């Protein structure tokens, strides 16, 4: 048996293993009992891996690897999204840099450029996912613009169009003047900005009771050019006399009515609200209710259209300044107030969005949402953590018709054809050139579909639908969708609606929502801030296992987690990630412990594990419980608990206790005893490697390959990743409550002595006198372990129900157990008491200072959140220290 290398090199081992797995076909769909089909949320085809992807893909791979080992029919589907706006923006910029205009070269050549861009840059994120160790079927990659997927998208549009679920209408949409396309409500990003509230006077057409004008308050004075009404609240009695009167709109001299509407908040501004139906959603609703004209004053680039004199051609910012100046010049600007408000921005280019009346295509969701709501209410689709269920249901209750058209060229073109001669219009699955009614030439709608329209079909269009629906058999519904909370509405809900409509099935049984990864200071990671962490840098520095394991340990039921990493402010390169460094330390721990065992296997012969000693019985029982616990945690998507629990078990119980206790037996003269402990160690390591493999596939595969066969099986699998999972039922016979109880008593006694040595800085070589008070039953079963406890703790030990605390001793309690360690002959108790009293006084003084700071309302209001959090953590540390020192002083009193 070749000896394992002294050090484990992830940069050499990981790429080699990936290629071996792929060459052996381990990533391809497997057959088994029970289905585990998972679709990867398709990343942008020209994107690169970020920390959200890394978290998402780690969780998915952990679950898929686990399911594969359990013998389930496993399929993990890879694919990318064409990313309409993102890709078109990048290609536009490339052409601009080359001195070429999209409009100049035309649609067909521009689409060729987009395909060239996709082919050139589309493989980056896939190769990065592969480097992470994700066991996806890379031989069966999907793409939302592939011919077969495009046919599926087109069929969905046509079926919904002919079924009355898709219609065209003129509505207010969020419009990006820079991208020149509609943006959905869910994709708009809100940012708090400092602005103003302008109070503008509108003259009444005829004075009323001495009143010759009304004053409106607005954050957007430039839109007044399109005002078609003034609204007041029906509850505002003071203004009731003006309802039905009219004002003369300044600048444009348009006479517009004053009316009452419940949309108006009587306490906002002056209580008079200017109504611009073409440039505000609420105003649009009021305009519909009161039959107001809809006047669009901006073109697609947010420039004032013709017909407004000196203001025509101005962009909206210049128009704002000019309108305010005009009102001021004419004595109609009453006052200006500063105002902090939330403003919508384009999620791609960060341009301020414009509410804009335009003709778009919509999906009538009322005909789809009822059933999509019921499957979640009934539990047919379950959210994990469960609290996200309410988020989904609330969104569905308030769901509006979905705007699916985008004014782009890159994407799925809307398959509606028009004849200008006879007025014929239809949605078709195949292109046509001439009108089927009159024979005239037809033209196709120029817009493309929202990217989410195509990705909503992801679970079934990637598996052969509609041309080969048989491909869905056994793999649809899929098992679980792992995704971020940001797209519950954008993607999850739409997938459920479309899947129910076209397959009569839910798309997945479970939805796992992972936490958002924030920067170290708690802010959102972003390129513009320079605080984003590159997963590939983490892999290069620490290895994929370490990155994956650290990410999984961060998973909790809380919605956000801070990633512990320092980024160079100038170069934006990763400097350090302490938690990932710790995870790398755990990888090293796994390797070193396994190497130690492997180096001590001379004369080993495979055979069953057996409890030859109390320590063996304890270890085998704990191993069985850990198998049951880890299995249950992965079944219920408790990924963080799974990772943290396994690390604690392997470090503290397998390595620090069992391996240490076995060292003497490995070098003993009793060959039979040595062989049995070898078998037990190989069995324990084999089991642990299987349990850890889903999250740490590389180091566990390397260790497993180096170990001989255990009693678990005959190593009949070529790779650990396709070996059998340790089934709880197979380990149930190893559970031994008595052995665990006795050994935990031993660990408590030894741990109490060791913690006392650490507290008072005593050498392990210093033999101490110790007594332990325990119940009769515990004392009886501790009798055989007492010699081992004396050796491990280096103490002279007495124990029993009658044990009392000796003078000059410290006590350590653990439930019903009390351990007394005599220190009177080892340290100067009075000097120690004095030292501790001074330490206590300093800690109490420091705590009082921190509490005064936290009690200062001005400090709390102005200080940064991370500063306040640091102060609170400091207070908690001081409180813990005070409690500990107080207990120590009490020991010596």
Mean of pLDDT values over 88-112: 91
Q: What is the pLDDT of residues 276-313, one digit of tens each?
A: 999 998 999 999 999 999 999 999 999 999 999 999 99
Residue 676 lies in a domain: yes
Are both 652 and 618 inside the same structural domain?
yes
In a 3-state reduction of DSSP, which class is residue 461?
Answer: helix
Mean pLDDT, rounded, for 859-887: 83
> Same domain, yes or no, for 820 and 701?
no
CATH at 218: 3.90.740.10
Domain that holds residue 788: 740-827
* Residue 5 covered by a domain: no
Q: How far apart are CA 235 and CA 232, in angstroms?
A: 8
Predicted TM-score (pTM) of the model is: 0.87
User: Is 283 inside a domain boundary?
Assistant: yes
Instruction: Quote the mean pLDDT of the chain.
Output: 92
Going by the annotation, the residues of the binding site for ATP are: 527
- For the stretch 4-37, pLDDT in tens is 999 999 999 999 999 999 999 999 988 888 899 9
* Residues 773 and 790 reside in one and the same domain: yes
Instruction: Tell me the per-residue pLDDT of 596-645, one tens digit each, with 9 for 90 and over.
Output: 999 999 999 999 999 999 999 999 999 999 999 999 999 999 999 999 99
Residue 597 lies in a domain: yes
Residues 731, 748, single domain; the answer is: no
Same domain, 719 and 585: yes
789/805 same-domain check = yes
pLDDT attached to residue 294:
94
pLDDT (0 to 100) of residue 340: 85
| pLDDT score for 417 | 98
Beta-carbon contacts of 721 under 8 Å, excluding residues fewer than 6 positions away, are 21, 26, 65, 68, 69, 135, 693, 697, 701
Say if residue 832's pLDDT is above 80.
Answer: no
Whether residues 697 and 771 fall in one domain: no
Q: Is 874 exposed, middle or buried (0-12, 13-18, 19+ CB in 10 A)?
A: middle
Report the CATH number at residue 588: 1.10.730.10
Residue 129 lies in a domain: no
pLDDT at 893: 63
**Model pLDDT, residue 86:** 86
Q: What is the pLDDT of residue 483?
A: 96
Annotated binding site: 527
What CATH number has the domain bearing residue 864?
Answer: 1.10.287
| pLDDT-based confidence at residue 716 (cuts at 50, 70, 90) | low
Q: Residues 853-879: what's their mean pLDDT?
A: 84
DSSP-H helix ranges across 244-339: 281-290, 316-329
**Is residue 696 domain-shared with residue 752, that is, in the same domain?**
no
pLDDT at residue 115 greater than cutoff 90: yes
Does residue 880 carry a pLDDT above 90?
Answer: no
- In a domain, residue 776? The reply is yes
Q: Which of 265, 269, 230, 271 is nearest to 250 (CA)?
A: 230
Is residue 761 scored above 90 in pLDDT? no
Asked whether residue 803 falls in the same domain as residue 845, the answer is no
User: Averaged over 456-484, what is the pLDDT?
Assistant: 96
Which residues, other chains included, contact 581 with Cβ-Cβ below 8 Å and sequence gap of 6+? 542, 546
Within a domain: 3: no
Mark which of 735, 759, 775 sits at the end of a domain. 735
Domain end: 735, 756, 791, which one?
A: 735
Same domain? 793 vs 872: no
Question: What is the count of structural domains for the chain?
Answer: 4
Is there a single domain that holds both residue 598 and residue 665?
Answer: yes
Per the domain annotation, does 398 fall within a domain?
no
Mean pLDDT across 722-738: 95
711 and 779 within one domain: no
Who's near 49: CB < 8 A, 6+ residues apart?
43, 125, 128, 129, 132, 534, 535, 536
Give per-residue burial for 352-390: e unless 16+ CB within 10 Å, then b.
Answer: bbbbbbbebbbbbbeebbeebbebbeeeebbbbbeebbe
pLDDT for 186 equals 67
Integer distance in angstroms from the first to the last C-alpha of the chain?
A: 60
Q: Which of 795, 810, 827 is the last residue of a domain?
A: 827
């Amino acid at each position: 048996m070749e000896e394992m290398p002294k050090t484990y090199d992830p940069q050499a081992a990981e790429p080699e293993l990936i290629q071996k797995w792929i060459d052996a076909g381990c990533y391809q769909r497997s057959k088994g009992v029970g289905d585990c089909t998972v679709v990867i949320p398709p990343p942008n085809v020209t994107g690169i891996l970020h920390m959200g992807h890394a978290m998402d893909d780690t969780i998915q791979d952990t679950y898929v690897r686990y399911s594969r080992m359990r013998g389930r029919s496993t399929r993990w589907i890879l694919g990318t999204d064409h990313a309409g706006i993102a890709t078109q923006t990048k290609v536009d910029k490339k052409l601009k840099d080359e001195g070429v205009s999209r409009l100049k070269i035309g649609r067909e050549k521009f689409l060729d450029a987009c395909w060239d861009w996709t082919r050139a840059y589309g493989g980056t994120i896939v190769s990065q996912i592969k480097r992470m160790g994700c066991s996806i079927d890379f031989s069966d990659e999907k793409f939302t613009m592939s011919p077969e997927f495009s046919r599926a998208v087109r069929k969905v549009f046509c079926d919904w169009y002919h079924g009355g679920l898709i219609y065209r209408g003129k509505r207010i949409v969020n419009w990006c003047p820079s991208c020149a396309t509609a943006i959905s409500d869910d994709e708009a990003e809100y940012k708090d900005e400092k602005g103003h509230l302008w109070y503008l006077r509108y003259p009444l057409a005829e004075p009323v009771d001495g009143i010759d004008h009304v004053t409106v308050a607005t954050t957007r004075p430039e839109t007044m050019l399109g005002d078609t009404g003034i609204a007041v609240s029906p509850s505002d009695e003071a203004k009731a006399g003006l309802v039905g009167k009219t004002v003369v709109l300044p600048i444009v001299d348009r006479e517009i009515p004053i009316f009452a509407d419940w949309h108006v908040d009587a306490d906002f501004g002056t209580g008079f609200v200017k109504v611009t139906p073409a440039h505000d959603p609420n105003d649009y609703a009021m305009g519909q209710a009161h039959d107001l004209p809809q006047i669009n004053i901006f073109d697609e680039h947010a420039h004032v259209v013709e017909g407004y004199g000196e203001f025509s051609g101005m962009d909206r910012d210049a128009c704002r300044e000019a309108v305010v100046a005009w009102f001021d010049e004419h004595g109609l600007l009453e006052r200006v107030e500063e105002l902090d408000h939330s403003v919508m921005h384009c999620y791609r280019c960060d341009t301020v969005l414009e509410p804009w009346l335009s003709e778009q295509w919509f999906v009538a969701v009322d005909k789809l949402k009822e059933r999509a709501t019921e499957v979640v209410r009934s539990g047919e689709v379950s959210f994990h953590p469960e609290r996200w269920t309410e988020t989904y249901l609330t969104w569905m209750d308030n769901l509006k018709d979905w705007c699916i058209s985008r004014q782009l060229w890159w994407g799925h073109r809307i398959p509606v054809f028009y004849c200008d001669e006879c007025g014929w219009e239809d949605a078709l699955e195949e292109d046509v050139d001439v009108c089927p009614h009159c024979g005239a030439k037809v033209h196709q709608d120029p817009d493309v579909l929202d990217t989410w329209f195509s990705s909503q079909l992801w679970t079934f269009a990637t598996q052969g639908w509609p041309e080969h629906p048989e491909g869905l058999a056994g793999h649809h519904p899929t098992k679980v969708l792992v995704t971020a909370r940001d797209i519950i509405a954008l993607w999850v809900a739409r997938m459920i609606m479309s899947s129910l409509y076209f397959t009569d099935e839910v798309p997945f049984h479970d939805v796992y929502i992972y936490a958002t990864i924030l920067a170290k200071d708690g802010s959102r990671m972003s390129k513009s801030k320079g605080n984003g962490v590159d997963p590939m840098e983490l892999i290069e520095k620490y290895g994929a296992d370490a990155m994956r394991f650290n990410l999984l340990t961060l998973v909790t039921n809380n919605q956000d987690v801070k990633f512990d990493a320092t980024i160079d402010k100038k170069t934006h390169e990763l400097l350090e990630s302490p938690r990932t460094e710790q995870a790398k330390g755990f990888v090293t721990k796994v390797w070193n412990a396994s190497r130690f065992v492997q180096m001590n296997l001379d004369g080993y012969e495979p055979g069953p594990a057996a409890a030859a000693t109390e320590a063996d019985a304890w270890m085998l029982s704990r191993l069985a419980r850990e198998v049951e616990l880890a299995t249950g945690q992965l079944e219920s998507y408790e990924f963080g608990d799974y990772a943290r629990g396994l690390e604690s078990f392997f470090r503290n119980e397998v390595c620090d206790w069992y391996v240490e206790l076995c060292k003497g037996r490995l070098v003993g003269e009793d060959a039979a005893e040595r062989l049995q402990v070898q078998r037990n160690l190989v069995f324990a390591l084999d089991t642990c490697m299987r349990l850890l493999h889903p999250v740490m596939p590389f180091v566990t595969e390397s260790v497993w390959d180096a170990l001989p066969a255990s009693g678990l099986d005959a190593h009949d699998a070529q790779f650990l990743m396709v070996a059998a999972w340790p089934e709880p039922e197979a380990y149930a016979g190893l559970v031994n409550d008595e052995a665990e109880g006795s050994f935990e008593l031993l660990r408590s006694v030894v741990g109490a002595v060791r913690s006392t040595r650490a507290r008072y800085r005593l050498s392990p070589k210093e033999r101490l006198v110790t007594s332990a008070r325990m119940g009769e039953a515990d004392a009886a079963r501790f009798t055989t372990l007492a010699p081992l406890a004396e050796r491990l703790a280096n103490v002279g030990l007495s124990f029993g129900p009658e044990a009392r605390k000796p003078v000059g001793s410290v006590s350590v309690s653990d439930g019903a157990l009390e351990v007394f360690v005599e220190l009177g002959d080892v340290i100067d108790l009075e000097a120690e008491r004095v030292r501790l009293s001074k330490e206590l006084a300093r800690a109490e003084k420091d705590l009082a200072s921190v509490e005064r700071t936290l009690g200062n309302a001005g400090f709390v209001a102005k200080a940064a959140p991370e500063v306040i959090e640091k102060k609170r953590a400091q207070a908690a540390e001081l409180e813990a220290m005070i409690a500990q020192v107080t207990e120590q002083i009490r020991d010596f009193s």
